[in-house]
Amino acid sequence: MANSIFEKPGILKESSSGYTHVKIEEELMLTREIFVISPVDADTMSALFMQVLYLYREDPDKEITIYINSPGGEVQSGMAVVDLLGMIGTPVRTVCIGTAASMGAMLFLAGDKREMMPSSRLMIHDPSLSGGSFDGKKPAEIEAELERLKETQEMIGKMIAEKTGKSIEEVLKITARDTYFSPEEAIEFGLATGVVTKI
């Protein structure tokens, strides 16, 4: 039966014991290249955390490249990886290969070198309330949720400000709505450092 185009691609490698099917992402790990091509959640970020930690321990001074095409997702899961990238000191190059939106854009911003493919896009915005409605909740509970949301907004705004050199006020004005950036616009704003011209 033919492989589905939706299956993860692989390659055949020859060894002394014959041919072995190897996943392409495993092969690319050998060249310190990682892909984030799904929503940001606990599972995908745990896998990314482990990959980054493994490459760091293998060679803490050698650059890691993370390719990103993600609609975003859970802030706390994504920020765990952002924190790790800030702690290890290993050079990190992030590359936007489609759309890096919301928490996907924050992962992109964690790179020392932040490059975009010519047709890619970044999208940043304020965090939104998730996980249900306010139905049945008491005023104090609603207030607590809004306070947590405000803290998250400030954390994200501070990170964008630090990476771009913009003031918090400038950042919050932009993130008040979904704001998309082309590579040129992202470079001008300070979100990206360059456009990919060759792989």
Which of the 8 DSSP states describes residue 197? -
| Residue 125 is among the residues annotated as catalytic for this protein | yes
CA distance 78 to 134: 25
| Residue 102 is among the residues annotated as catalytic for this protein | yes
Do residues 106 and 78 make contact, with C-beta atoms less than 8 angstroms apart?
yes
List Cβ neighbours of 103 (8 Å cut-off, separation of 6 or more): 40, 70, 72, 73, 74, 75, 77, 78
CA distance 184 to 115: 11
The active-site residue, picked from 38, 125, 130, 133, is: 125
The active-site residue, picked from 70, 77, 102, 120, is: 102
Could you tell me the two tokens for 173? 């004005």
Q: Which residues form the catalytic set?
A: 102, 125
